[in-house]
Amino acid sequence: MLVWVMVGDLADWLLMDVDIWAWVGGTQRELHESGNTGLAMALGDVPAQALEGRYGQLDVVAPAIAKHAETLGQPWLELFARYWHLMGRVGDRANGAVALDDAASLVEFAQRDDVRDCPAAPAAVEVLVVTQSNTDGPGFAETRLAALGSALDGNGPESLAFPGLATQYVAALVDAGQPAEAVAYAETAVERLRGAERQASWELGAASARALLAAGRADDALTALDASTGFKPDDPVAKGRREALLRSMVLATLGRVEEAVEALPDLDVVGDHPREWVDWAHTVRLLASSGSIANTWQLGRILRQWITYFETMGGHRPRAELAVTAGHLAVGRQGLWQARLLADYAEAALGGLASGDELAARVAELRAAVDGATEPPAPGPADELVAYFDAADGRTADPERWVGWLWPLAGTDLEATRRHATTLGFLGYAPAGADIYWKTLVEDGDPAAASEEDVAYLTGLLIEAGQDDRVERLAAALPEGRSSLALARLYRARERWEETAAAAERAAGAGVGLEAARLWSGAAQQLGDNAKAAEILRPLLDSEEGEEEDIWRLIVLSTAIEDWATVRAAGIKLGMPVEPGGEPIEEEWHLVRVILPAPDGSQREVLAVRTGPATARLAIPQPRGMEYNAGDVVVIDPRPLEPIPEDEEGRESFVVPFAGVTMLRPGGYTSWFFDGAAPSEEEWAEFNEVLADRGWPMWVYSDENYRVTHPASGEQLPGVFGWIAIPPTVQPSALDAVLDDVTEQWSHPLAWLDLAREVGIEAERHERISKEYGL
């Protein structure tokens, strides 16, 4: 029921026509009837998944819906799913070149004869130009203007597509170096909307403010932003932080530093939203120069991660922009080595731009700033720096400074090189650290004579830097056991499980030790061989070599294959009070929350009873279409997903969450849906008692906002819906009889339509109840 409410709300402000929502509703019903409950529940939620950042769900659900729509021959619905999936990628996640082909394909799809009349078809053009902007805004400016101009020719201010297309047209004009024209176009678009008795979107107002800022009219930009704050946003989830960030940037440009700092969203607000990163970093640079905001090595480390993200996503312009901004911030805190590397990174990104002349000049400006700055003095003589490094307080030491101080020693002194290279990796410069470490250990030294520690550090840096060929060359220069271990580390990082298992087995056979066994066991588990994975770790029961985490992992693996003797032996090793015997461990420990996957790509939290070290029996009925239900025994990972509260009061009400690993034994329960007006407290208590006496789990899925309609007066009544699960030994007819008996005297009847249809008893009555009460 909540899905329908949400769909109706979304239809008020999303770029989708009523006909599209009719398609959504109809397809939801089809999916329900075909037993595809997960997709049916998620379909109306797809736009919210894109806007709220629930990308794990979106990346599963949207392609599945698109495929289903293609199978059913419903191209408008396919457009709906593909559009929102792409918007989730190129909107908040700011995918660039990696999404260009998909965006172009969507435009081609929207131009098909059976799609082009869909009111949402122009949205495909919007997605494409956003993707081009993410890749290289100025470089694609003319292309974007041409595509948007063509789309706007056929979509006036009466069209739902107009505000979004106009917003992108303003942004393209700014990127084309025409801010004055962008301001004029935005003003005209707002007037055209007003003439059509429509209000501009907040995004269009914000685009106008950006254009004014680009035109050097910061005061007017602030006025425009204030005027648009009440406009309805296309993206209400993001509006708050985006408006605050734009306001902060304008205020910082005006020199109103205190107000800008106050308006600037915190890092934890923008950190998960790549679309905001370039503007946020630019604003921070403006404010840091005044000393009003901290410019720390932690900030530099985060900006380096963001640069890597854009590099991965094909955001060529954002990558270069961020590198230049981060470089100037690094100069400001005397991290000159970092500023030099960032200038190199920005320059490397210029090759992906259609025109990088302006950025090239800014890179040159950054290099000049580095050349004109002074290196911070080292804390002591060069031959004592390693000792100073080791004595430094890990909580207060500045790793950026230490990289600069150790740089002259790197490559000549092994101890200094190790600390220098690994610190570079920690700060996000693994390629630079790997190059220095590689030259020291491999080119100028003998890898076979290197310590295990140095080989492990170098291997880790090479893997992080993506230098797989060097890992293989390093492995070729090592003795057999260490060679195989290096390869196993590489294959594990790249999720090449068969190769991981083979290399780790060779390493273990050569006596390398515990890490090889862990890698081998983990790969075997990934390959679906829990028995082998457990066998590899089982010798740790009679050894002092393993750690507590290894024993817990052995418990999980042994539970999955029902090797209860090993589970008991491992429990004893950990000091757990497990009852002796050879039978399955079926105890009653305590309530837990088990986190399990849902068909829509999300996760469900299911209340359960922990029955052993790594098992739990689900206690809550699940809707049809789930792969698990009440009565199922599942294997859990015994590591809590949340910290246990420290205070006694918090611990009393805390139910520990654990990740579900795999199904151990299905209980065979079947769930049946009920729905209707909520009964009195006395009636409800009897209902619960009757079901509990029979051991039939029941769970209410509705909340206090759920309402049904009184068939006579039209009054809105509190409603209740949920699921009841019965074991395989109970026939559905028995549940039907019990429900009929216990609800017979209720003021308002309860409906269990699917169950009635299954048993063939009074299905018409339940259909009537559902219709009369609007269930």
Q: Quick one: tokens of 57?
A: 């769900």
* pLDDT > 70? residue 593: yes
d(CA 110, CA 324): 38
Q: How far is CA 326 from the centre of its chain?
A: 25
| Backbone φ, ψ for residue 433 (5° rounding) | -65, -40
- The whole-number pLDDT of residue 19 equals 47
| Whether 621 contacts 699, CB under 8 Å | yes
Res 65: pLDDT? 85
pLDDT at 581: 77
Identify the pLDDT of residue 160: 84
Of the candidates 631, 717, 715, the one whose C-alpha atom is nearest the C-alpha of residue 675 is 717
Mean pLDDT estimate for the chain: 91
* pLDDT of 550 over the 60 cut: yes
pLDDT, position 36: 61
Q: How confident is the model at residue 37 (pLDDT cuts 50, 70, 90)?
A: low
CA distances to 669, 699, 735 from 672, in Å: 10, 11, 9
pLDDT at 80 over 70: yes
pLDDT, position 18: 43
pLDDT tens, residue by residue, 128-164: 999 999 999 999 999 999 999 999 998 999 988 899 9
At 507-525, the pLDDT tens digits run 999 998 899 999 999 999 9
What single letter denotes the amino acid at residue 136? D
The 10 Å Cβ neighbour count of residue 511 is 9
Q: Is the pLDDT of residue 7 over 60?
A: no
DSSP state of 199: P
Per-residue model confidence as pLDDT tens digits over 666-692: 999 999 999 999 999 999 999 999 999
Residue 53 backbone dihedrals phi, psi, to 5 degrees: 80, 25
Asked if pLDDT for residue 15 goes beyond 60, the answer is no
- pLDDT tens-digit readout, 256-307: 999 999 999 999 999 999 999 999 999 999 999 888 899 999 999 999 999 9
What percent of the chain is predicted at pLDDT more than 90? 74
In the beta sheet, which residues pair with residue 718?
707
- Is residue 4 pLDDT above 70, yes or no? no
Query: Which residue, 326, 375, 329, is CA-closest to 346?
Result: 326
Tell me the C-alpha distance between 555 and 695, whole Å. 30
Q: Rounded to an integer, what distance in angstroms lies between the CA atom of residue 348 and that of residue 596?
A: 44
Q: Is the dihedral of CA 614, 498, 466, 512 positive or negative?
A: positive
Q: What is the pTM of this model?
A: 0.84
Residue 743 has pLDDT above 90, yes or no: yes
Q: Are 137 and 175 in contact (CB under 8 A)?
A: yes
Give the chain's length: 775
Alpha-carbon 346 to chain mean position: 27
For every residue of 443-492, DSSP letters joined together read ISS-GGGS-HHHHHHHHHHHHHTT-HHHHHHHHHTS-HHHHHHHHHHHHH
d(CA 396, CA 408): 23
Mean pLDDT of 728-732: 95
- Tell me what pLDDT residue 57 has: 81
Structure token pair of residue 610:
């922990």
Per-residue confidence (pLDDT) for residue 10, from 0 to 100? 38
SS3 category, 385: helix
Neighbours of 591 (CB within 10 A): 12
Distance between CA atoms of 514 and 537, rounded to whole angstroms? 9
Residues 6+ apart with CB under 8 A from 573: 541, 551
Range 643-668 average pLDDT: 89
Q: Tokens 């507590």 sit at which residue?
A: 548
Q: Are 189 and 154 in contact (CB under 8 A)?
A: no
- Asked if residue 3 has pLDDT above 60, the reply is no
pLDDT band (50, 70, 90) for residue 51: confident
pLDDT band at residue 8, thresholds of 50, 70 and 90?
very low
Question: What is the rounded CA–CA span in Å between residue 80 and residue 7?
Answer: 13
Q: Which of 490, 527, 524, 521 is nearest to 508 (CA)?
A: 521
615: three-class secondary structure by DSSP: strand
